[in-house]
Structure 1
Amino acid sequence: MALNVNVVSADREVWTGSASQVVARTVEGEIGILSGHQPMLALLAQGEVRVTTANGEKVVVDAEGGFLSVDHDAVTIVAGKATLVA
Protein backbone atom coordinates (compact mmCIF):
# COMPACT_ATOMS: atom_id res chain seq x y z
CA MET A 1 0.00 0.00 0.00
CA ALA A 2 1.32 3.46 -0.86
CA LEU A 3 1.22 6.84 0.81
CA ASN A 4 -0.53 9.75 -0.88
CA VAL A 5 1.83 12.69 -0.37
CA ASN A 6 1.13 16.38 -0.88
CA VAL A 7 3.87 18.96 -0.21
CA VAL A 8 2.81 22.62 -0.41
CA SER A 9 4.34 25.95 0.49
CA ALA A 10 2.45 29.10 1.43
CA ASP A 11 2.10 30.09 -2.23
CA ARG A 12 2.08 26.89 -4.33
CA GLU A 13 2.01 23.13 -4.60
CA VAL A 14 5.58 21.78 -4.58
CA TRP A 15 5.13 18.02 -5.11
CA THR A 16 2.25 15.55 -5.11
CA GLY A 17 2.35 11.85 -5.72
CA SER A 18 2.42 8.30 -4.45
CA ALA A 19 5.26 7.27 -2.15
CA SER A 20 6.56 4.29 -0.22
CA GLN A 21 8.32 6.41 2.43
CA VAL A 22 8.61 9.99 3.69
CA VAL A 23 11.37 11.24 6.01
CA ALA A 24 11.08 14.73 7.51
CA ARG A 25 12.75 16.79 10.21
CA THR A 26 10.41 17.95 12.97
CA VAL A 27 11.14 20.13 15.98
CA GLU A 28 11.39 16.89 18.00
CA GLY A 29 13.75 15.14 15.57
CA GLU A 30 13.65 13.23 12.30
CA ILE A 31 10.66 11.00 11.56
CA GLY A 32 10.11 8.29 8.99
CA ILE A 33 6.62 7.52 7.72
CA LEU A 34 5.55 4.30 6.03
CA SER A 35 2.13 3.02 4.99
CA GLY A 36 -0.01 2.23 8.04
CA HIS A 37 1.58 4.95 10.22
CA GLN A 38 -0.55 6.14 13.11
CA PRO A 39 -2.29 9.51 12.60
CA MET A 40 -0.16 12.38 13.83
CA LEU A 41 0.52 16.09 13.56
CA ALA A 42 4.03 17.54 13.96
CA LEU A 43 5.75 20.91 13.60
CA LEU A 44 8.37 20.99 10.85
CA ALA A 45 11.89 22.18 11.52
CA GLN A 46 14.06 23.65 8.77
CA GLY A 47 15.56 20.89 6.67
CA GLU A 48 14.97 18.32 3.99
CA VAL A 49 11.83 16.32 3.38
CA ARG A 50 12.89 13.15 1.58
CA VAL A 51 10.28 11.21 -0.37
CA THR A 52 10.84 7.79 -1.91
CA THR A 53 8.24 7.47 -4.65
CA ALA A 54 6.26 4.30 -5.24
CA ASN A 55 8.61 3.44 -8.15
CA GLY A 56 11.79 4.03 -6.10
CA GLU A 57 12.76 7.53 -7.23
CA LYS A 58 14.03 10.03 -4.65
CA VAL A 59 12.43 13.48 -4.30
CA VAL A 60 14.00 16.05 -1.98
CA VAL A 61 12.25 19.21 -0.81
CA ASP A 62 13.99 21.89 1.25
CA ALA A 63 11.31 22.97 3.75
CA GLU A 64 11.24 25.70 6.36
CA GLY A 65 8.60 25.93 9.08
CA GLY A 66 5.06 24.60 8.92
CA PHE A 67 3.57 21.26 9.84
CA LEU A 68 3.28 17.63 8.81
CA SER A 69 0.04 15.65 9.06
CA VAL A 70 -0.47 11.90 8.67
CA ASP A 71 -3.96 10.42 8.41
CA HIS A 72 -4.99 7.13 6.75
CA ASP A 73 -1.90 6.88 4.50
CA ALA A 74 -2.25 10.54 3.46
CA VAL A 75 0.77 12.70 4.28
CA THR A 76 0.32 16.45 4.00
CA ILE A 77 3.27 18.79 4.46
CA VAL A 78 2.51 22.50 4.62
CA ALA A 79 5.66 24.63 4.82
CA GLY A 80 6.11 28.38 5.04
CA LYS A 81 8.81 27.98 2.37
CA ALA A 82 9.43 24.86 0.30
CA THR A 83 11.67 24.34 -2.71
CA LEU A 84 12.13 21.24 -4.81
CA VAL A 85 15.84 20.29 -4.82
CA ALA A 86 17.14 19.13 -8.19
Structure 2
Amino acid sequence: MADLEVDLVATDGKVWSGTARQVSAPAADGEIGILAGHTPILSVLRAGEVRVQPAGGGAPLRWHVDGGFLSVDSDMVTVVVDTVASGTGPASAGDRH
Protein backbone atom coordinates (compact mmCIF):
# COMPACT_ATOMS: atom_id res chain seq x y z
CA MET A 1 0.00 0.00 0.00
CA ALA A 2 1.26 3.48 -0.88
CA ASP A 3 1.95 6.07 1.80
CA LEU A 4 0.99 9.70 2.29
CA GLU A 5 3.43 12.53 2.96
CA VAL A 6 1.93 14.57 5.80
CA ASP A 7 2.69 18.04 7.20
CA LEU A 8 0.83 19.36 10.24
CA VAL A 9 1.53 23.06 10.64
CA ALA A 10 0.32 25.58 13.24
CA THR A 11 0.56 29.34 12.90
CA ASP A 12 3.83 29.32 14.86
CA GLY A 13 5.57 26.50 12.96
CA LYS A 14 5.66 22.86 11.92
CA VAL A 15 4.13 20.45 14.45
CA TRP A 16 4.78 17.12 12.70
CA SER A 17 5.99 15.88 9.33
CA GLY A 18 6.32 12.31 8.09
CA THR A 19 4.80 9.43 6.19
CA ALA A 20 1.45 7.93 7.06
CA ARG A 21 -0.97 5.21 5.97
CA GLN A 22 -4.05 7.28 6.87
CA VAL A 23 -5.08 10.73 8.07
CA SER A 24 -8.44 11.52 9.69
CA ALA A 25 -9.63 15.04 10.41
CA PRO A 26 -12.77 16.93 11.52
CA ALA A 27 -13.94 18.56 8.28
CA ALA A 28 -16.60 21.25 8.52
CA ASP A 29 -19.22 18.90 7.02
CA GLY A 30 -18.14 15.73 8.87
CA GLU A 31 -15.18 13.47 9.59
CA ILE A 32 -12.87 12.90 6.62
CA GLY A 33 -10.48 9.99 6.12
CA ILE A 34 -7.58 10.22 3.68
CA LEU A 35 -5.73 7.25 2.14
CA ALA A 36 -3.14 7.19 -0.65
CA GLY A 37 -4.72 7.91 -4.03
CA HIS A 38 -7.40 10.22 -2.57
CA THR A 39 -8.94 12.75 -4.92
CA PRO A 40 -7.43 16.25 -4.53
CA ILE A 41 -9.43 18.22 -1.98
CA LEU A 42 -9.36 21.43 0.04
CA SER A 43 -11.48 21.30 3.19
CA VAL A 44 -12.19 23.64 6.09
CA LEU A 45 -11.61 22.00 9.49
CA ARG A 46 -13.67 22.54 12.62
CA ALA A 47 -12.40 21.99 16.16
CA GLY A 48 -11.68 18.33 16.85
CA GLU A 49 -9.03 15.64 16.61
CA VAL A 50 -6.58 15.07 13.76
CA ARG A 51 -5.34 11.47 13.70
CA VAL A 52 -2.36 10.14 11.76
CA GLN A 53 -1.61 6.42 11.39
CA PRO A 54 2.18 6.32 10.85
CA ALA A 55 3.43 4.34 7.86
CA GLY A 56 5.73 2.29 10.09
CA GLY A 57 2.85 1.08 12.24
CA GLY A 58 2.32 1.68 15.91
CA ALA A 59 -0.27 3.72 17.72
CA PRO A 60 -1.99 6.59 15.90
CA LEU A 61 -0.72 10.09 16.60
CA ARG A 62 -3.43 12.51 17.77
CA TRP A 63 -3.72 16.26 18.11
CA HIS A 64 -6.66 18.43 19.13
CA VAL A 65 -7.03 21.34 16.72
CA ASP A 66 -9.15 24.47 16.93
CA GLY A 67 -9.92 24.72 13.22
CA GLY A 68 -8.01 25.38 10.03
CA PHE A 69 -7.88 23.64 6.66
CA LEU A 70 -6.69 20.42 5.04
CA SER A 71 -5.30 20.08 1.53
CA VAL A 72 -4.73 16.81 -0.36
CA ASP A 73 -2.87 16.66 -3.68
CA SER A 74 -0.85 13.77 -5.16
CA ASP A 75 -0.60 11.84 -1.86
CA MET A 76 0.62 14.98 -0.06
CA VAL A 77 -1.57 16.02 2.89
CA THR A 78 -1.09 19.45 4.43
CA VAL A 79 -3.01 20.36 7.58
CA VAL A 80 -2.79 24.03 8.61
CA VAL A 81 -4.37 24.98 11.94
CA ASP A 82 -4.61 28.03 14.19
CA THR A 83 -3.78 26.21 17.42
CA VAL A 84 -2.99 22.61 18.24
CA ALA A 85 -2.69 20.64 21.47
CA SER A 86 -1.08 17.23 21.32
CA GLY A 87 -3.04 14.26 22.59
CA THR A 88 -1.00 11.12 22.14
CA GLY A 89 1.20 12.73 19.52
CA PRO A 90 4.98 12.90 19.80
CA ALA A 91 4.92 15.85 22.23
CA SER A 92 3.63 15.84 25.79
CA ALA A 93 -0.14 16.12 26.32
CA GLY A 94 -0.02 19.66 27.63
CA ASP A 95 1.87 21.25 24.73
CA ARG A 96 0.11 24.00 22.78
CA HIS A 97 1.32 25.66 19.60
Q: TM-score range by the shorter chain?
A: over 0.9
Unaligned runs of at least 5 residues, structure 1: none
Higher RCO (CA < 8 A, seq sep 6+): 1
Deviation at 1:84, TM superposition (A): 2.1
**Alignment match, 2:61:** 59
State whether residues 14 and 83 of structure 1, in contact with CA within 8 Å, keep that contact through their aligned partners in structure 2. Answer: no
Query: Percent of pairs identical after alignment?
Result: 47
Deviation at 1:83, TM superposition (A): 2.2
Distance (whole Å) between structure 1 residues aligned to residue 66 and residue 41 of structure 2: 19
**Alignment match, 2:83:** 81
Please show how residues 1-86 of structure 1 align to structure 2 within 5 Å.
Answer: 1-57=2-58, 58-86=60-88
Give the alignment's TM-score, normalised by structure 2: 0.85
- Give secondary structure in 2 for the equivalent of 1:24: strand
Deviation at 1:85, TM superposition (A): 1.6
Distance (whole Å) between structure 2 residues aligned to residue 12 and residue 62 of structure 1: 16
Aligned partner letter, 1:79: V
Give the alignment's TM-score, normalised by structure 1: 0.96
Q: Deviations over 1:27-83 (max 9, x none)?
A: 100000000000000000100000000012210011111100000000000000112
Unaligned runs of at least 5 residues, structure 2: 89-97
Higher share of residues assigned strand: 1
Aligned partner letter, 2:34: I
Distance (whole Å) between structure 1 residues aligned to residue 38 and residue 81 of structure 2: 21
